[in-house]
Amino acid sequence: MPDRSSLEVVVELLGKAPERKFGESVEVSVNLKDLDLTVPKNRLEDEIPLPNGRGRSVKVAVFGSPELCQKIRGVADVVVPANELDDLAKDAKAAKRMVSEVDFFLAEAPLMPAIGKRLGVVLGPRGKMPRPVPPGSDPTNLVNALKRSIRVRSKGNRTFHAPVGTRSMKPEELAQNLDAVLNRIVGKLERGRTNIESVYVKTTMGPSVRLW
């Protein structure tokens, strides 16, 4: 199949997909080939910033010392002081609710062992273990970057999906986001684009359109 531009495919997709009464996401579906996914290094797990953002709000939580929490309050959506970790771990419903509502987590590096011990069972399976930040640092820029990012995880699957925006965004914005995601994925694969069987784009409930 000859290459088509991302913009061509997005325009076709939006023309084919019926309008819904809710805000649909636009997603890319990537099908891998010629990779041994039992080998951890061949599995994709990455946080990818989108040039035009997600098209919806993205929540970031920070675990930290009182000093860091004071610094980041008003920037991060959720702030969890170190001395509240035990209480959160004891309230399984609250912990699960927070993890389901928050997209990305950061934590001061010295807290990582305690977070793994107390909350790893909730964070780990969802691919949301915190990214460590140095003690005393100001993660404001990182928080702001994550607010326009997505997480890509292939796990052991040859086919995986990732959001590139929402239907309310302009086709040009969606196409730029799509290109950014695919360029990052290709760069992570052992043999680049030759490890990709096909790429499709779709809305949440609409038809899919092939890009590659």
Question: For residues 30 and 160, what is the distance between their CA atoms, to the nearest angstrom?
Answer: 6
**DSSP string covering 144-161, please?**
HHHTTEEEEE-TT-SEEE
Residue 129 DSSP symbol: P
Would you list the domain boundaries of the chain? 6-55+149-210, 60-146
Tokens, residue 65: 């010392």
pLDDT value at residue 186: 95
Question: For residues 64 and 82, what is the distance between their CA atoms, to the nearest angstrom?
Answer: 5
The CATH number of 60-146 is: 3.40.50.790
Question: What residue type is assigned to position 97 of the chain?
Answer: R
**DSSP string covering 10-47, please?**
HHHHHHHSPP-SS--EEEEEEEE-S--TTSGGGS-EEE
pLDDT value at residue 95: 92
Mean pLDDT in consecutive groups of 10 residues from the start of the chain, 212 residues: 82 87 89 91 91 93 93 92 91 92 95 93 91 91 94 90 94 97 94 94 91 93
pLDDT value at residue 60: 96
pLDDT value at residue 21: 76
CATH superfamily to which 6-55+149-210 belongs: Ribosomal protein L1/L10, rRNA-binding domain (3.30.190.20)
Neighbour count for residue 182 (Cβ, 10 Å): 21
pLDDT value at residue 72: 92
- In this structure, what are the phi and psi dihedrals at residue 171, rounded to the nearest 5 degrees? -55, -40
- In this structure, what are the phi and psi dihedrals at residue 34, rounded to the nearest 5 degrees? 55, 40
Q: What is the pTM of this model?
A: 0.83
Question: For residues 210 and 197, what is the distance between their CA atoms, to the nearest angstrom?
Answer: 11
Q: What is the β-pairing status of strands 45-49 and 25-32?
A: unpaired
